[in-house]
Structure 1
Amino acid sequence: MRMSKSAVQKLGKRLEVPGEAPEEALMQLEELLIDYSELLTAARGVIDELCDTLDWPLSVTHRLKTTDTLVQKLQRAKARGDSTNLARVQDIAGIRLSGNITLIEQDQLRDWIIERFEGQGHKCSVRDRRTDPMVGYRAVHVIVSIEGRYVEIQVRTLSQDLWANVFERIADIFGRGIRYGEPPDSGGEAVGNIIRMMEGFSARLYEVERLAYTDDAKRDGREATLEAQRPLLAQLREMLRTTEDITGRLST
């Protein structure tokens, strides 16, 4: 039997208590994730159908948060004094679209996604992290409400996606909490400098990407806009290789 919103909220309250989560609560969480998995499969089908109609260089992936990740998220919020309603968590099920597209094309893709899901009777909301970045993270998120559950669809340009991958590797090394503005687990001020450097790099990338909205870019075409990003993308790829190498050596 499907869990009600109130039951999901009560489950979240049990899981957010610091320490090892009760086995019974973890089993309930696993059942909830099965429900989300079915929704994710259906939503992925909608996205795949949309992408089949486009001749765009898009990569599509999807993921479901694990029980461990969800428990950590709830307990981390509780430790900050910001208790989270599990029934309202929007990124349990996620789909990611990324590709070598401009900001204008990102807007178009966002609108087409909303059109597809709203055409099926689902409500959608948008969180534009391009103008409101979190610790430098930029993307467009479309939140789809399906039968009282949420699927988060992240739409990223190539620059946004590469930047996020680099920052993920940095978080693997110094603590996942830095993605939410929390202090690093180790490294102190040196890591703080790295984070500020990444935030500055994100701002530079966004300024270059905004060429897509200028009159010159419209006259010269999308290739001119994408060409202007290539030196920064090369730097990001080198940063990604470096951080992946450090992560690999730390894990051995």
Structure 2
Amino acid sequence: MQQHIQRSKAPILSKNQIDQLGSRLRTEDYSEDDLRTLDHFRRAYVALYEDTVNTIRQTLHLAPTGRPAKSTSAIRDKLCRSSMRLSQMQDIAGCRIVVEDHRLQDEVVTQLQALFPASTVVDRRKTPSHGYRAVHVIVWHQHQAVEIQIRTELQQAWAEYAEKLADTVDPALKYGGGPQGPRDILKALSKVGGFVEQIELEGAGQHQQFAAALAEVASRLADLHKE
């Protein structure tokens, strides 16, 4: 299928200029001009985001939610806590699709790949990122990208809980930091979610593992309550 994305404009900066801007923003030597340039750069993603979301809604009849562009402060924070170049950042614009289960998740990923041939897939179900599990389809248009997160209801529940825990305990929990107790709980809950989805796919046969994972979560919740 031919992509409907036509309105998005190429960045006014070259790839090298974008990365130089990102390098300056990692330090304390960035200027107000750098922030204005970053703001202009991130706003250039809005048209691509809108076209991507509208294409999904009209063709697949799904209802993605999200944001046209990361804030300048969020972009700078990500640059400071990672080694990626600004031109490599794939989630400046992003949306999310939540589906019922693992099977539907696979179906939607396949549909998105057919809808956006110039896309790449990042599967974080078998190798979670600090407990975070989902599938990301990255839609590319020239030097711009829109990240589509496809989550099951279980994965979405975990992400919402992790966000609340980060807000109330330590923001570093979102990136694998923070106190050990809450980190262990998030990983255990993620493990339980994985078992549930595997049982959905394969049926019976993993109930003992599932019961053990639930016991692990209950134990860590009790420890956190004491702390």
TM-score, normalised to structure 2, is 0.80
Q: CA deviation at 1:176?
A: 2.9
- Spell out the pairing of 1:69-218 with structure 2 (5 A cutoff): 69-77=74-82, 83-99=83-99, 101-118=100-117, 123-182=118-177, 184=178, 191-214=179-202
Cα distance in 1 for partners of 2:34, 2:169 equals 30
Q: CA deviation at 1:21?
A: 3.8
Residues 32-88 of structure 1 deviation map (CA, whole Å, 9 limit, x = unaligned): 011111111111112212342xxxxx65211121001111111222xxxxx321001
- Spell out the pairing of 1:23-102 with structure 2 (5 A cutoff): 23-52=32-61, 59-63=63-67, 64-77=69-82, 83-99=83-99, 101-102=100-101
SS in 2 for 1:143: strand
SS in 2 for 1:133: coil
Between Structure 1 and Structure 2, how many residues are aligned?
A: 198
Q: CA deviation at 1:211?
A: 2.1
Cα distance in 2 for partners of 1:105, 1:196 equals 29
8 Å Cα contact 1:12-1:84 kept in structure 2: no
SS in 1 for 2:90: coil
Distance 1:110 1:146, change over 3 A: same
Counterpart residue type for residue 65 of structure 2: T
Residues 96-122 of structure 1 deviation map (CA, whole Å, 9 limit, x = unaligned): 0013x221110010010110011xxxx
Give the match for residue 6 of structure 2: none
Greater share of residues in helix: 1
Give the match for residue 3 of structure 1: 13
**Residue 15 of structure 2 is aligned to residue 14 of structure 1:** no
Q: CA deviation at 1:215?
A: 5.5
Q: Give aligned-pair identity as a percent.
A: 32
Cα distance in 2 for partners of 1:215, 1:209 equals 10
TM-score, normalised to structure 1, is 0.73
Structure 1 unpaired stretches of 5+: 53-57, 78-82, 185-190, 217-227, 240-252
Counterpart residue type for residue 50 of structure 2: T
Structure 2 unpaired stretches of 5+: 1-10, 205-209, 222-227
